[in-house]
Structure 1
Amino acid sequence: MTSHEAPARAVMRRADGRPIQVLVVDDEPVLAELVSMALRYEGWDIATAGDGAGAIELARGNPPDVVVLDVMLPDMSGLDVLRRLREMQPGLPLLLLTAKDSVEDRIAGLTAGGDDYVTKPFSVEEVVLRLRALLRRTGVANDASDAQIVVGDLVLDEDSHEVTRAGDPISLTATEFELLRFMMRNAKRVLSKAQILDRVWSYDFGGRSNIVELYVSYLRKKIDSGREPMIHTLRGAGYVLRPPR
């Protein structure tokens, strides 16, 4: 890969330079794959298990750096799995997933040793952001510069959610921010409407490609208005974000 084809930002890695090892434990295959795909996109190595016994076996054979753990599993409580994993790796960071939303459930999960908590249904982007913050906080990975994506004079900060172009601040809605982040991470790559729908809206807007056109038009007005365009349409193919020439 030549230097001008490099990704828009560095991949978050372990302090020793190796890829982050993530163990995803969930008995819903579609959900587990959705989370895994998002984490592979981060450049991390992913292992998955559909039950507690499988998770413990995988962790014993290949100790993970962080775990995404569903509290409700078919063979045992996710909290029991958490305790077993912590016995093997006392400092192991864990992000809990649950369909329960009561204060008691949150307290039980965090008291059992979970480092963070996400309630279903959730955005995969939220899971990614929480894991990145968790990895920094626990010292598994510590790269402050990783929070920024830079393409030409366009800068997006993933932690502060601030966006600037040529130093000028740009105010975006949450969805506009996610769309821009996806396009910036894939700078110079043509992204189809289907890819954008799948990544930004998941399965909630399946088949409604007009929503992509609408939000791309919103971004253009904020990113490109009065400036050299960065967002381009390739008729019949999709959209591409390129730095100004």
Structure 2
Amino acid sequence: MRIALIEPDVQHAKLVDRLIFAGGHMCQHFTTSATFLLRATDEFFDLLITESWAGDHCAEDVIPLARSILPGLPVMMMITEPRESQIVAALHAGADDCMSKPVRGPEMLARVEALQRRAGLRRPANRRRDVIGGYSFDAAHFAVAFRGLTVILTPKEFRLALLLFNNLARPVSRAHILETVWARRRDVKSRTIDTHASRVRSKLQLRPELGYSLVPVYGYGYQLDAIPLESMTGAG
């Protein structure tokens, strides 16, 4: 994952950076939220880790600004000797997780991996079949069964479809897609992602009248939403 770290304490930032690197991720350090927000307009990040004081603003104020640029961005907040009220306030402000500062290596990496799993970036090798929203994914045969049909996808189409369903109602960045489907290859053209998304939409019949909508998120990636059929019936 590409992780953004907002930490005014440079020494602590170096510790976090080493831990993130040891966990197989890439870390970009910022001492203020302003510098991060500026960079986020041009670069994608899969996760934001921020100190409760983000150098120039409270993290609670930074979270909505970050997500206005990178929709659905997971956020982890670091708090020195956190009180229960601080943790509650952070979670109410939109943080996905909180951890004590200074961080403890194994705990921090475990929390990062938990957020990564929640985002559907990696699937354990022993998880051969997933059933999500009426679609059954068979990883052994790259097959998807739904409404009495079984469709065989290419391996990349299968990984893209599973990633989208694991992030239902949540935008998935092109960076996430590249990392998951194309194993971080940066020479993949944007059009290739669009073509695969179009094939997944067609093969899995992801149409509003059938309960799903797969649409591009301008300048970001793709989002799959479930559309209650009763709401469409009522609208008609």
Q: Normalising to structure 1: TM-score of the pair?
A: 0.49
Q: Are 2:123 and 1:143 equivalent residues in the alignment?
A: yes
Task: Find the partner of 1:59 among 37, 40, 46.
Answer: 40
- Which protein is richer in strand relative to its size? 2
Q: Distance in 2 between matches of 1:58 and 1:100?
A: 30
Partner of residue 22, structure 1? 3
Q: Distance in 2 between matches of 1:55 and 1:46?
A: 12
- Structure 2: unaligned runs, 5 residues or longer: 127-236
Q: Are 2:88 and 1:107 equivalent residues in the alignment?
A: yes
Q: CA deviation at 1:84?
A: 0.5
Q: Give the residue type in structure 2 aligned to 1:37.
A: R
Task: Find the partner of 1:97 among 78, 83, 86.
Answer: 78
Q: Distance in 1 between matches of 2:116 and 2:96?
A: 10
Q: Are 2:43 and 1:43 equivalent residues in the alignment?
A: no
Q: Distance in 1 between matches of 2:103 and 2:69?
A: 29
SS of residue matched to 1:22: strand
Q: Are 2:51 and 1:70 equivalent residues in the alignment?
A: yes
SS of residue matched to 1:61: coil
Q: CA deviation at 1:45?
A: 1.9
- Number of residue pairs matched by the alignment: 126
Q: CA deviation at 1:79?
A: 1.4
Q: Are 2:63 and 1:82 equivalent residues in the alignment?
A: yes
- Structure 1: unaligned runs, 5 residues or longer: 1-19, 147-245
Q: Distance in 2 between matches of 1:145 and 1:68?
A: 28
Partner of residue 122, structure 1? 103
Q: CA deviation at 1:74?
A: 2.8
- Cα RMSD of the aligned pairs, angstroms, is 1.6
Q: Distance in 2 between matches of 1:104 and 1:42?
A: 30
Q: Distance in 1 between matches of 2:117 and 2:23?
A: 15
Q: Distance in 1 between matches of 2:27 and 2:19?
A: 10
Q: Distance in 1 between matches of 2:63 and 2:47?
A: 12
SS of residue matched to 1:46: strand
Percent of residue pairs identical: 24
Q: Give the residue type in structure 2 aligned to 1:144.
A: P
Off by >4 Å, runs of 4+ in structure 1: none
8 Å Cα contact 2:12/2:102 also seen in 1: no
Q: Distance in 2 between matches of 1:29 and 1:145?
A: 38
